[in-house]
Amino acid sequence: MSEQIEERDYDEYRVIEPLGDWKRTHSCNEITAKNLGEEILIMGWVQFRRDHGGLIFIDLRDREGLTQVVFSPEHNVDAHERAHAIRSEYVVAIKGQVRERPDGMINKNLTTGEIEIVVDEWKLLNTSETPPFAIEDRTDAAEQLRLKYRFLDLRRPALARNFILRNKAAQSVRRYLDGLGFLEVETPVLTKSTPEGARDFLVPSRMNSGEFYALPQSPQLFKQMLMVSGLDRYFQIVKCFRDEDLRADRQPEFTQIDIEMSFVDEEQIMGMAENMIRTVFNETIETALPAEFPRMTFADAMRDYGCDKPDVRFDLKLQEASDIFRGSDFKVFGKAELCKVLRVPDGAQLSRKEIDEYTKFVEIYGSKGLAWIKVKEDGTWQSPIVKFFSEEECTKLQELTGCQPGDILFFQAGAADIVNAALAALRLKLGERFELIDESKFAPLWVTDFPLLEYNPDEKRYVARHHPFTSPQVGQIDELAEKPGDALARAYDLVINGYEIGGGSIRIHTPEMQEKMFAALGIDEEEARAKFGFLMDALKFGAPPHGGIAFGLDRLIMILCGAKSIRDVIAFPKTQKATCLMTEAPSGVASTQLRDLGIRLREKKEA
């Protein structure tokens, strides 16, 4: 059988034919026993060829699925003879009849598993060299290779499926918003450098030499302008850009579902957005999310989970132990700004090696160590630190945590942000370790009542937590000037399974409030005018009350697909070095191009 293939190379049959008047009648995933006896025409790629019992079989693949095709010398001698030339990934068009597969060959896992096509005529539409990796769902090819040959990688059904779903989700979003009277309005890609936030990508202007456009980090100000102009309900599925050093799951360009509404409060925006997400889950993966998404304040999220995007699919909560240890002889706890404990029921089974690994792991977040107590079966505590505790401290700790034999307690003490970040990350690790997470479950959560500002120790000033156009909550205007750190924002984030998938706010819509905000941020009038002049103008001419929300589409699709990497939901993604291995972008350009733009490369020695 397969040796036979090697004997001759059948090159004389490898003549590529034009389509002519051949037209497909079906996809490769729709012919079933209902079509028995029909004459059909399908086209696609040869997934696999095998020769068996004098017949040649191929699985023909297209975007939708597979159909088994059989070349039989009894049916058509010439078609069968020429089929010897077929190799994997050849492109062929098959005209033939639908017939039942022989009993032993029925494949219940395929839509087309009961039938096969016996070939009357066929055309070779293209040949293919042997691909650098097999086109199969399970692949062990290196990601580098797959990215270089992205056009082949995307043939793998497991990956192609993500883009079918992505399209479905985007159209579902559009249908939903369109139905509510939202207008999709395109905002500029060549825009002005925004001085707050992340680093901009810049585009030198040829016609205005020495000046630069910036690619938008978000259409924030444009969507506010559209509200000032009375368009009332805006949305856009839009590319945004951030020139940041790329963490594992970041891309320099990403897609946002950007939404803004006039004459509404946060309840209306959250209601609309919640229903949109519910609709998308329904229409793409047929999953019903809760009728009402639970809510949690930022303060509660930080207290119980140490972060503002808790994964609430499982229940482990942090507890604050600062009061117990304040002034303790155990100085590490006694002098800490914050001391928190995480009780893991049945966690005492963790080995010393595992605990050492967790200790290393929390160091990523700035932790200097991971204290722990195992509660033994007899109720006694095994721990490197317990000897430093007073009896009262032990009693209070037992009361606080209610720990039982078999449990383990983990501690972090020190600066609040490190304590929280370390325990939040450890909590997720432990959730996986003890299989506490139901991977089939989706747990949406609104996080609300964010602080308006946060102190930036580097810049020694308060900066906007969301952006400087977010409105403080009603009655918090005085806080803004007096205790800026205490003012709460009319802001909300939507979290699913521990990922922030969306966030938004009610915006400031009067010049007076915007001035107070800039003052709290230490931005003087001149600076405000230079940076946000047109916003300040716009607020003077009858801006309506308005607010909005933006969702990260890439992240949302990842969750819907269960994809592990953001690169699996972006057709042509970039590496962590921000390069495209297929097109080899970025690249050097001709010096004349630079001259036209009025720029030159900085010589290395000056760098």
Q: Is 9 a binder of its own copies (CB under 8 A)?
A: no
Nearer to its own copies, 158 or 202 (CB): 202
* Stretch of 305-313, 360-368, 392-400, 594-602 lying at the interface with its own copies (CB under 8 A): 594-602
- Residues 94/119, Cβ–Cβ less than 8 Å: yes
As measured in angstroms, the least distance from the Cβ of 5 to its own copies is 18
Q: Whose Cβ is closer to its own copies: residue 562's or residue 586's? A: 586
Residue 262: what are its φ and ψ, rounded to 5°?
Answer: -105, 155
* Backbone CA torsion sign across 220, 221, 227, 231: negative
Looking at 193-201, 380-388, 405-413, 428-436, which segment touches its own copies (CB under 8 A)? 193-201
- Rule CB under 8 A: choose which of 106, 183, 364, 481 binds its own copies: 183
Does 174 interact with its own copies (rule: CB under 8 A)?
yes
Q: How many CA atoms lie less than 13 Å away from 386 in the CB half-sphere?
A: 17
Based on the shown chain and the rule CB under 8 A, indicate whether residue 186 belongs to the binding site for its own copies. yes
* Binding to its own copies, residues 464-483 (CB under 8 A): 474
Q: Is 196 annotated as a binding residue?
A: yes
Residue 243 assigned as binding residue: yes
Among 59, 82, 85, 90, binds its own copies (CB under 8 A): 90
Let me know: does 380 contact 363? Beta carbons within 8 Å: no
Whether 354 has a binding-site annotation, put simply, is no
Q: How far is the CB of 142 from its own copies (least distance, A)?
A: 17
**Structure tokens given for 185:** 């309005």
Q: Is 185 in the site for its own copies (CB under 8 A)?
A: yes
327 sits in the region (left: phi over 0; alpha: psi -120 to 50; else beta) called: left
Among 126, 282, 380, 404, binds its own copies (CB under 8 A): 126
Pick the binder of its own copies from 9, 39, 78, 178 (CB under 8 A): 178
310-346: burial string, b at 16+ Cβ within 10 Å, e else = bbbbbebebbebbebbeebebebbbebebbbbbbbbe
- The verdict on 597 binding its own copies (CB under 8 A) reads yes
206 vs 295, beta carbon nearer its own copies: 206
560 touching its own copies, by CB under 8 A: no
Binding mask 420-459 for its own copies (x = CB under 8 A): ----------------------------------------
> Which residues 198-237 are close enough to bind its own copies by CB under 8 A?
199-215, 221-222, 225-226, 228-232
Closest CA to 433 of 338, 520, 515, 357: 357
Binding site annotation covers 552? yes
Does residue 599 belong to the site contacting its own copies (CB under 8 A)? yes
CB closer to its own copies out of 189 and 394:
189
- State which of residues 63, 101, 396, 467 lies at the interface with its own copies (CB under 8 A): 63
**172 token code pair:** 């579902």
Count of residues binding its own copies (CB under 8 A)? 126
> In this structure, what DSSP letter does residue 320 have?
E
DSSP E strands in 311-443: the ranges are 318-320, 338-344, 371-375, 381-382, 408-414
Q: How far apart are the first and last CA of the chain?
A: 64
Choice from 25, 32, 97, 127 touching its own copies (CB under 8 A):
127
- Long-range CB pairs of 378-382 (<8 Å, 24+ gap) are 378/405, 379/405, 382/348
> Mapping DSSP to helix (H, G, I), strand (E, B) and coil, where does residue 70 land?
strand
Among 10, 133, 149, 361, binds its own copies (CB under 8 A): 149
Verify binding: residue 598, its own copies, rule CB under 8 A.
yes
Q: Does 187 bind its own copies (CB under 8 A)?
A: yes
Other CB atoms closer than 10 Å to residue 251's CB: what's the count? 18
Q: Residue 565, interface with its own copies (CB under 8 A)?
A: no
Return the HEC string of 75-91: CCHHHHHHHHHCCCCCE
568's CB contacts (< 8 A; 6+ apart) are 159, 162, 558, 561
Residue type, 127: T
500 is in an annotated binding site: yes
Annotated binding-site residues read 196, 242-244, 251, 466, 500, 507, 552-555
Annotated binding-site residues for L-aspartate read 196, 242, 466, 507
Annotated binding-site residues for ATP read 242-244, 251, 500, 552-555
